Amino acid sequence: MQINVAQLLKEPVGAKRNYEIDGLAGENGENHVKGNIELMRTSRGILAEGRFSVDIKGSCSRCLAEVKKRISFIMEEEFFPVIDIVSGAHLNPPPDEFAITDNHILDLSEAIRQYIIMTTPTRLLCRPDCPGICPICGQELARGDCGHSSRPRDSRWDKLTQLEKESKI
């Protein structure tokens, strides 16, 4: 997801370009990203604003089944050139900011990868009411009852359980 922005860098502040994005992104390029991005010339570089949707894959946090989910996000980042387009002088972009290469290529890949990570739920679920797996035998509880108690009994709680029963009498 690289865009040559040499011409945009030569234009006055406020100049804009729109692009459609349709490609692979993510840690290993496994996520399909679609969206639109608007690049606007600023006094310091180029502001990239876009809306994207991405199909992510993972494992359900409860039953470990494979999950495919579509997430959407809005990206807004400023990219800074490392070489002045007019004079050719080397510039020092702010540290920890996205840079435009010395060939005037704006690479969206890393920014999009970071936004995918930020918007991916910490716990993917195959469905909101997924019951998970049995902690004793490992059977998926969505397939039916395995015969084990839904909660493994912990003997350390026996005295409290007995107190609860006595207080209800």
Average confidence score pLDDT of the chain: 87
The pLDDT of residue 138 = 79
- The DSSP bridge pattern shows strands 98-100 and 66-81 to be parallel
- Whether residue 160 is predicted with pLDDT greater than 90 in this model: the reply is no
- Whether residue 39 is predicted with pLDDT greater than 70 in this model: the reply is yes
- The DSSP bridge pattern shows strands 31-41 and 16-25 to be antiparallel
Give CA torsion, residues 101, 107, 110, 114, to 10 deg.
120
| CA distances in angstroms from 72 to 51, 53, 77, 106, 117, listed in the order given | 7, 4, 16, 22, 12
Helix count (H) and strand count (E) of the chain?
3, 7
The model's pTM is 0.74
Q: What are the pLDDT digits (tens) for 127-152?
A: 999 888 887 787 888 787 777 765 66
The pLDDT of residue 47 = 95
d(CA 57, CA 78): 29
Give me the mean pLDDT over the 119-123 stretch: 89
| CA distances in angstroms from 160 to 77, 151, 156, listed in the order given | 55, 16, 9
The pLDDT of residue 49 = 96
- Whether residue 35 is predicted with pLDDT greater than 90 in this model: the reply is yes
The pLDDT of residue 150 = 58
- Whether residue 26 is predicted with pLDDT greater than 70 in this model: the reply is no
Percentage of the chain surpassing pLDDT 90? 39
Q: What are the pLDDT digits (tens) for 86-95?
A: 777 888 878 8
Nearest to 57 by CA among 65, 49, 47, 68: 68
Between 83 and 19, name the one with better pLDDT.
Answer: 19
